[in-house]
Amino acid sequence: MFENTCLSDALEFNDPIDIGNHRHLMWNWPGPARSFDPMGHIVIDLDGPAPMDLLDVLATLSNGTILDCDLFSRACQDVIMKQWREYGCHETKNAIRVAIGVDELSEYAEKIIEQLVFSGIVEKAGDGGYPRLEDVSSVDFGAAEIAEWITVRLDTRVTIPNGSIDYVFDLRRSRLASAA
């Protein structure tokens, strides 16, 4: 069984390094590698020929590093999106709802929030404004910073040029609040 290759830990948290390494081995060693146990550790068939890069892979995995930067990056994005669906979306919407003093947000407001979270428009503590993986169980979606950004601009219309696309946000309370 290989270390740093499981799909989730015992608490069902997902480590992007492990996920990226798991995907790398499953795609690059389709014969000997297989996913094992509920956590999805990689195991190989010891009765068959060893992969050519087995020793290099073992050395890399023993250091807890990544085998493939692209797969690691995709795994990070997958973990961030999973956390967004599980709690980030709700927490961010709730922070904004409280900040602007409305009971429910409109669908329009929900679309704006998602744009602000994932576009990098709202700068947060030097991370470029994008969601930041704090650890395998937590992502900083910038709920407080986005709520403040909206509150400061409440009841205005904001246009932000971004290359060939201009972001236009109608931040009037009547557009952000859901009709009861």
C-alpha torsion 64→70→73→79, nearest 10: -90
In a domain, 8, yes or no: no
pLDDT band at 126 (very low <50, low <70, confident <90, very high): low
Q: Computed from CA positions of residues 44, 48, 53, 54, in that sequence, does the dihedral angle turn out positive or negative?
A: positive
- Tell me the residue range of the domain where 47 lies: 16-67
Element (H, E) at 42: strand 41-44
Residue 5 within any structural domain of the chain: no
The reply to whether 58 and 81 lie within a common domain is: no
Residues 88 and 23 in one domain: no
Write down the pLDDT at residue 42: 81
Domain count, the chain: 2
Q: For residue 150, which of 100, 105, 84, 106 has the smallest C-alpha distance?
A: 100
pLDDT band at 10 (very low <50, low <70, confident <90, very high): low
Q: Is 61 part of a structural domain of the chain?
A: yes
- Residue 8's pLDDT band (boundaries 50, 70, 90)? confident
Per residue in 53-108, pLDDT (tens digit) is 988 988 888 887 899 999 999 999 999 999 999 999 999 999 999 999 999 999 99
What are 58's two structure tokens? 């073992």
- Say whether both 35 and 99 belong to one domain: no
Residues 11-27: what's their mean pLDDT?
Answer: 85
